[in-house]
Structure 1
């Protein structure tokens, strides 16, 4: 007997899990479109040099090469291609290639698989689905786009709450605040300080203070000031007052604080409680130029960020025109994996079928097929029993699949049975419909079904 060894990091959901994933994806797409984002798709591969241009290491990129290609053969150049590890790099290329045919500001969403060769663990996969939104400008991009993006994400999760998804907190920071503050302290290694601050949750303030002094040239007083800045959170103008109380003042810091306050106050009016300033957020600040976002599920913070992003002043550039952008990416697979492993959301049934049409005997199968065709023609998902077994066995067949109704064809009258309640009534396939809640599988919070 051949034993199949599973490949870690490449999730394959059972039908019930796939139903949950599909409901999540449909909710995300619907919300994006409500806000005017247009859907695009890009190719799965990009030139290796393009993939490495955003700071990813070569260890994380899967190289694409034809199996029989050898040096000197036609097709050997395929070795210079790799599977994309996110959707930002291909989107930047897409903008440059299509700039003359796009209307700016361009609002796009993209839901596709990406591949990343890192060690699989909880919430981290080698193949996974991302759902991105970005707003891109031609030369300039107004600040209100930095408010709109996290607001849209907050609305996505408000709608996902109907599926049982916990609420989220979108933690925001601003590159200008961090850079202006560190430079005001006299620290020149801004990116290095950011990398050290990013380790706060993992190693704690004492070890981060030591890193700042040993690796980033900070004095003990400067290191403490960096930690004091990182401790500040809030949802109103009070965050600016608390930062300025630390005794540092630069034009760049003032600009960043103004933007940060405007962001949290505007978001607070539109999606109350969802967005909070958190000045310890440092991941990604070394390549973002304005607002930066990280999102956690309330009660599942140990999972890490399930949605992140920020503003690039140069998402793409052709040497003549620069295209600034701001966006966020939802880790759909990470989210769905938690919904399934923690039994947060469930599908009402694993198959789409609402009605199983019974088969009396092999000669009457065409009659059962005709009933199913009538039901499908009216938008009712129907299947026909695979064999003319005893009706009890056909009912068990439906029950194992969660199919709520079994249809019994007759020469003069038809019967349909709700196998959950046992109720059975006469019905006409040209007129009968199941209740709306039974028509298609529904995904709800698991606690609603317990």
Structure 2
């Protein structure tokens, strides 16, 4: 078989990298559950019309189809299953759209407000680049209400994410800044200026970091019909940021100078002020009001969030989301929600590529049990079984080579301890005995031990993720 050609945009971590990813996932899951979020998982595919009904995503969705299309005479679908037969399916590009569908299908069996977390892979047909993949892991949290959802959840969720990411600081994850805005502020300001294509303006403002203010101003005039003065006002709003409620005063003054004060703007400013004030008390310096944050998807209706790693801002947002009021609706009932999503693969890729963190070893094994000769492999198996029964990860050497070679096997795998079983006839050992000697191959220390009682140091029982010291 020829050497396979790698596919870009589909990350596959080496074992050490997988240990790092798993630590990140475990930390996020633990924090989410501490705050009362229940875990769910949705299917990987959705009807294509559902995936395309919100946001500019048509170029990113992967379509799913059979290699051979169904022909007349094929086996009919199970009774009641008409979706696959007459709908084109696509792989989900995020977890919010499938979650909205999940809420609608299960509304009668859910208790509202419903708090959920979801950790799954998603797929997007993007051009692969640093931190951007075509297949990647996301970790989402959302709160959905029935008919209404109190504003305080728009304050709570970014602080939960800040806590989750903050819990990773001890292993070398950089500080985070959560940048927040409110769609009501932006929409109220734009409408006050006389710009009615609010979604179009938001999409252009969302490009500021990529193409710069001059290019955005040109797009606003060419595609949204803005005058030079209106485009200038949009850029001035986007330039406002801060960590306290002085931001609100600056926006209000800017709107007054353009005679663009509206009731919707004032509502949004009140909500933004509440978020900034609460964040300043509970997580000082973490949440920053940034009026250029727009979010490209059009289902957001209130607070919007983006999160950057301090010192790695060029990577872009690793966590984003916002308030949505109409994404989950069946025509009679509406289930408003607010949520955030962490791009786990983007975060892990930066941690690994920048050498910020490392795994103490790439395998779970703490002890490699040596084999004296194949005739007595069962004794090595018995020792390993006794260690595993007590929660100590153990493996048995693949061959009965010289002990020096078996130690090298452990060293190559990063296994810290090698166990040498006592053989029948050694110091009265019986075939059932679990005694032997264990060697720490890092220090060279070796001592007698019994597999029924021996314990490795707590730091060595399982792989750990540790920060990498800067040079």
Fold shared by both chains (TM-score > 0.5) = yes
User: What do the CA deviations read for 1:36-93 (whole angstroms, capped 9, x no partner)?
Assistant: 0000011111111111112344332222222233454457837611111111111111
Paired position in structure 2 for 1:2: 2
- Correspondences of 1:17-416 after superposition (within 5 Å): 17-72=17-72, 73-74=74-75, 77=85, 80-246=88-254, 247=256, 248-284=260-296, 286-411=298-423, 412=429, 413-416=435-438
Find the partner of 1:421 among 443, 446, 451. Answer: 443
Q: For the residues of structure 2 that align with 1:244 and 1:251, how far apart are their CA atoms?
A: 12
- Alignment RMSD: 1.6
Structure-1 separation of matches of 2:264 and 2:280: 24
Aligned partner of residue 32 in structure 1, secondary structure: helix
Q: TM-score, normalization: structure 2?
A: 0.92
Q: Structure 1 residue 235: deviation in Å?
A: 1.6
d(CA) in 1 for partners of 2:354, 2:416: 26
Which whole-Å CA distance do the structure 1 matches of 2:175 and 2:13 have between them? 24
Q: CA deviation at 1:233?
A: 0.6
**2:307 touches 2:320 (CA, 8 Å); kept in 1?**
yes
* Cα pair 2:221 2:227 within 8 Å, conserved: yes
The number of residues matched between the two structures is 449
- Note the C-alpha offset of 1:315: 2.8
Q: Distance in 1 between matches of 2:39 and 2:219?
A: 44
Offset at residue 95 of structure 1 (A): 0.3
Determine the structure 2 residue equivalent to 1:15: 15
1:86-122 CA distances to partner (integer Å, 9 max, x unpaired)? 1111111100010000000000000011111222111
1:180-222 deviation per Cα after TM superposition (whole angstroms, max 9, x unaligned): 1111122222222222222222222223223323332322222
Q: What is the distance in 1 between the residues matched to 2:129 and 2:89?
A: 26
Counterpart-to-counterpart distance in 2, 1:71 and 1:259: 56
Q: Deviations over 1:228-284 (max 9, x none)?
A: 111111122111111121113211111100100100110121112111000011123
Q: Helix, strand or coil for the counterpart of 2:5?
A: coil
User: SS at the partner of 1:433?
Assistant: coil
Give the Cα–Cα distance (whole angstroms) in 1 for the partners of residues 8 and 194 of structure 2: 46
Deviations 1:411-430 (A, max 9, x none): 43511110000011111111
Which whole-Å CA distance do the structure 1 matches of 2:122 and 2:196 have between them?
36
Q: Secondary structure at the match of 1:256?
A: helix
Contact 2:20 2:359 in 1 (8 A): yes
> Separation in 2 of the partners of 1:198 and 1:102?
35
**1:316 match: secondary structure:** coil
Residue 432 (1) aligns with residue 454 (2)? yes
Separation of aligned partners in 2, 1:397 and 1:266 = 54
Question: How many angstroms does 1:2 deviate by?
Answer: 1.2
TM-score by length of 1: 0.96
Q: Deviations over 1:287-341 (max 9, x none)?
A: 3110000111111111111111000011311111100000001001111111111
Distance 1:128 1:254 in 2: 39
Q: Distance in 2 between matches of 1:391 and 1:286?
A: 64
Residues 432, 384 of structure 1: CA spacing in aligned structure 2 closer, same or farther, 3 A cutoff?
same
Sort the Cα spacing of 1:78 and 1:60 in 2 relative to 1 into closer, same or farther, 3 A: farther
Partner of 1:276, secondary structure, is strand
CA contact (8 A) 1:118 1:126 kept: yes
